[in-house]
Every structure is written in structure tokens, then in C-alpha cells.
Amino acid sequence: MTAEVTENLALGRLDDEARAALFTSARTANTWTDTPVTDDELASIWELAKWAPTSANIQPLRVLYVRPGEGRSRLVTHMSDGNKAKTQAAPAVAVLALDTRFHEHIPAVFPHRPELKDAYEANEAMRENGGRLNATLQAGYFILAIRAHGLAAGPMTGFDSVGLDADFFPDGRFKSFIVVNIGHPGENAWMQRLPRLDHEDVIRWA
Amino acid sequence: MTAEVTENLALGRLDDEARAALFTSARTANTWTDTPVTDDELASIWELAKWAPTSANIQPLRVLYVRPGEGRSRLVTHMSDGNKAKTQAAPAVAVLALDTRFHEHIPAVFPHRPELKDAYEANEAMRENGGRLNATLQAGYFILAIRAHGLAAGPMTGFDSVGLDADFFPDGRFKSFIVVNIGHPGENAWMQRLPRLDHEDVIRWA
């Protein structure tokens, strides 16, 4: 690639409004308005999130969108008690899961080094650690991609993943690790914002 | 909180330019211009990333910023061969690490349920899994927060984390899991963009 191409991709800074939508004002929602979330919106969230980077482009995250109805009621049975009502009520819900056999796609997504598929096949720790790390990175991208659509996210780890997987992913290949409610925030949607750690507790310099 | 408060937090959608900066045009950079990244910019990246959500607000990610100089040369010795030159050359580098004793902060960051600290202390699997999951989510937020500052990120998992931790975190509390180069992209900064999985390989509906 030429230097001109680099030039053309000069990067913009997010303005305060965009920072507010993703980070500084956005909040985890616990109630929802009746406004539906369309299948187009849900597909578009993935269309945005998919571009952010993963190690060797492995992209191990999978997404199950659970619409209102029978599937939703079944999903709610696997949620912790404190998460049942809001998950039942949410306009849309995404189950985020790791594809434990993500490496089967490597010849397509990392075509200049297809033999990496065999390296992952042979090394269970590398497959497990790399899959888990990158699926979780992608979950972070996904939560912010929901917010980029003007929607509120309600990510939860309080659910029975073994029961959920047996119910929704019975072949054992996908392993759920986060469930995210998606919608427009309703009345009293948020709890009081909790404090963040001080910089000196988080940041070091060398 | 009142419904009025919810109203005031109505969420915006990101426009195409902001989506490009974070997702659709942003790329993992491998070369850098000489333009420095200031300590203020590095502090501001964290100031943005810190607001995105974690389970029970545990915030287990820690960041070591390694400036050019002696520390950087020491860091490079722990990088995989293919990552050494670009890490040496980057205007700034962030080592992202898990604080394995993140739960000590729970009385400050989750003040309505301080006893959660003891639950994490007593349950090693819960501490390890919760810490790892949430630190990695925060790493995803952090990468996008770099991009939100008009900077390019170069995240890497190719390094000797055991050697790095012994060198930079000798008390054993922090465990590094990603190193991210940060700067303005230089000439020929990117490889050809790799394909993303098809929607039907990633998305399911229920």
C-alpha cells in the first residue's frame, strides 16, 4: 500500500456528543420503552462491531438474538432472579457466545497463513485462551456498537450458562458468556452512577 | 431517580464520520509518524474508557504506559520478534493488565454491597473468571477509546507475559494480557484489510 492510502485514512477524533453517546453519558439500562428494536438495527450493530480487531483476525464471537416470544421466555428461565424481569421486558436480547471451533474459519479469514488453523487444533490451551480473550474483546466492541446506534445496552453475567447452552446451543460448540438487553431506556432506567477508580489506582508510567 | 433524568440522557447515534473513526475505517497500525503522544492524551484515553460498564463495577483493568527510553527497550525484549520493531518505534505503548486483587476496591466502587469483596476473596474461580472477563471487556473499550482520540491502536498478544510481568510487575499482583502501541499512523501503516465472517456464520435468531 502507498503512503497516499495511509494519508486518506487520517483518523478523526470523536466530538463530545459522540463521546457522550458511547462513554461519558451512556448508562446500563434496566427498564425499556415499548419502542421495538428492528432486525435491521440488530444486524447493523454487528455490521459495525465486526470491524474492530482480533488476534490474527480470528473473530470468535457469535451472537444469538432472542426476540420477544417463546424463545425469550425460555431464555429468562436461565437468568438470575434479579435479571429475569428486565430480560423478559427488553425489546431485544443478544446472547454473546464463544465459538469453541472458531479456528475452522481461519483459512477464510487469515488466508495468507491457513496453517494457523492446525496450530489451534493441536493446542487446546492456545485455542481456549485465544478464543476466550478475543470473544470478550469483541463483546466490548459489541456493547459500544449498540450505543453507537442510539440504543441502550444492559450487559449481564448473572445467568446459568450451562443451562442456557444446553437449551440454545445443544451441539456444544458455542459457549455463552454475556447476555445483553437492548432497547430504548424507559422510566427510571438507571441506578445511581457508581464511582470509577482514581487514575492513580489504575495508571502507572514507565 | 426521576423520569426527567432518564429523559435528559436520551442517547445519540454516531454519525458516519464517528463510526469510521472507531470501526469502519480505523485500522491496526504497524508504523508511526514522529508526532509524539502526550501524557495528557494518554490520561484522557483512560478518562474515556473508564466509563464503560463492568460486572458489579469491579473495573479490574490496569494500564502501564511505557514511554520511549530505557523502559521501552526493556519492554521490547519481551515482545515476539515480529512485534519488536514497531513496539520500539511507537510514540506510546500501553501494557494492559489484570489486577488479580481487584476486589480490594469493591467497598469503594460498589459501596451498597461491600460484602461482595469477601465473596470474591473466598471464591478463586469467581475471582479469576470475573477478573479476566471484565479486564478483557475493558481492553475492548480501551482500544476504541484510543481511536476516539484520533490515534491509531496496534494491539498485540504476541509477547512473553511471564517475562514482562516479572520485569514490570514484580510483586505478582498484575498480569499482563495485551500490549497496545499508540500513535499516528506512518507510511505503509497497514496490511491489506482481512475479510470479516459472513453474518450467517456469526448471527443466529431465536
Confidence band (pLDDT; 50, 70, 90) for B134? very high
**A116 contacts chain B (CB < 8 A):** no
- Name the nearest CA neighbour of A153 among A17, A66, A27, A18: A27
Per-residue DSSP letter, A114 = T
- Asked if the model's pLDDT at residue B2 lies above 60, the reply is no
User: Of the candidates B21, B63, B109, which has its C-beta nearest A194's C-beta?
Assistant: B109
**A17 contacts chain B (CB < 8 A):** yes
CA distance B172 to B195: 39
Strands B203-205 and B174-183: unpaired
Q: What is the mean pLDDT of residues B175-197?
A: 95
Confidence band (pLDDT; 50, 70, 90) for A192? confident
What's residue A10's pLDDT?
Answer: 55
CB contact under 8 A, B11 and A147: yes
Confidence band (pLDDT; 50, 70, 90) for A191? confident
Residue B84's Cβ-side half-sphere holds a number of Cα atoms within 13 Å equal to 9
- Asked if the model's pLDDT at residue B80 lies above 50, the reply is yes
Ramachandran quadrant class, B139 (left: phi over 0; alpha: psi -120 to 50; beta: rest)? alpha
Q: Which residues does chain B have within 8 Å of residue A153's beta carbon, measured at their own beta carbons?
A: 53
Residues with Cβ within 8 Å of residue A90, at least 6 apart in sequence? A32, A154, A181, A182, A183
- Asked if the model's pLDDT at residue B8 lies above 60, the reply is no
User: Of the candidates A23, A139, A197, which has its C-beta nearest B140's C-beta?
Assistant: A139
Confidence band (pLDDT; 50, 70, 90) for B6? very low
- Name the nearest CA neighbour of B75 among B185, B196, B182, B161: B161
CA distance A128 to A141: 20
Nearest CA in chain A to B202: A62
User: Of the candidates B27, B141, B195, which has its C-beta nearest A140's C-beta?
Assistant: B141
Q: What is the mean pLDDT of residues A195-201?
A: 97
What's residue B9's pLDDT?
Answer: 52
- Asked if the model's pLDDT at residue B94 lies above 70, the reply is yes
What's residue B149's pLDDT?
Answer: 97
CA distance B34 to A55: 26
> How many other C-beta atoms can be found within 10 angstroms of the C-beta atom of residue B136?
24
What are A37's three cell numbers? 428494536
- Name the nearest CA neighbour of B189 among B26, B13, B73, B22: B26
Q: Which residues does chain B have within 8 Å of residue A49's beta carbon, measured at their own beta carbons?
A: 23
Q: What is the mean pLDDT of residues A9-21?
A: 85
Q: Phi/psi of residue B182, each to 5°?
A: -140, 130
**A149 contacts chain B (CB < 8 A):** yes
- Asked if the model's pLDDT at residue A20 lies above 70, the reply is yes
- What is the percent of chain A where pLDDT is above 70? 95
- Name the nearest CA neighbour of B152 among B33, B38, B39: B33
pLDDT tens digit string along B155-173? 999 999 999 999 999 999 9
Distances (CA, A) of A10 to B17, B149, B183: 11, 12, 12
- What is the percent of chain B where pLDDT is above 70? 95
User: Of the candidates A13, A191, A196, which has its C-beta nearest B59's C-beta?
Assistant: A196
What's residue A3's pLDDT?
Answer: 38
- Shortest Cα distance from B142 to chain A (angstroms)? 9
Per-residue DSSP letter, A32 = B
Q: Which B residues 161-200 touch A at CB under 8 Å? A: 168, 177-178, 185-190, 192, 194-197, 199
User: Of the candidates A23, A150, A178, which has its C-beta nearest B52's C-beta?
Assistant: A23
Strands B61-66 and A203-205: parallel
pLDDT tens digit string along A78-123? 999 999 999 999 999 999 999 999 999 999 999 999 999 999 999 9
What's residue A160's pLDDT?
Answer: 98
CA distance A26 to A81: 25
What's residue B100's pLDDT?
Answer: 98
Q: Where do runs of H (alpha helix) occur along chain A?
A: 3-8, 16-19, 39-49, 70-76, 81-89, 106-109, 116-122, 124-148, 161-168, 199-202
- Name the nearest CA neighbour of A50 among B150, B27, B23, B49: B23
Q: What is the mean pLDDT of residues B159-188?
A: 97
Sign of the CA dihedral with A24 first, then A28, A33, and A37 last? positive
Cell 470473544 found at: A135
Query: Which three-class secondary structure string do you get for B167-202?
Result: HHCCCCCEEEEEEEEEECECCCCCCCCCCCCCHHHH
What's residue B78's pLDDT?
Answer: 98
What's residue B12's pLDDT?
Answer: 83
- Asked if the model's pLDDT at residue A62 lies above 70, the reply is yes
Distances (CA, A) of B171 to A42, B4, B93, B112, B167: 45, 48, 21, 31, 10
pLDDT tens digit string along A121-168? 999 999 999 999 999 999 999 999 999 999 999 999 999 999 999 999
- The secondary structure of B93-143 as a DSSP string is EEEEEEETTGGGGHHHHSTT-TTHHHHHHH-HHHHHHHHHHHHHHHHHHHH
CB contact under 8 A, B18 and A15: yes
- Asked if the model's pLDDT at residue B31 lies above 60, the reply is yes
CB contact under 8 A, B23 and A49: yes
Q: Are B62 and B97 in contact (CB under 8 A)?
A: yes
What are B100's three cell numbers? 488479580
CB contact under 8 A, B6 and A202: no
Quote the mean pLDDT of chain A.
Answer: 94
- The secondary structure of A160-206 as a DSSP string is -HHHHHHHH-TTS-EEEEEEEEEE-B-TT--PPPPPPPPHHHHEEE-
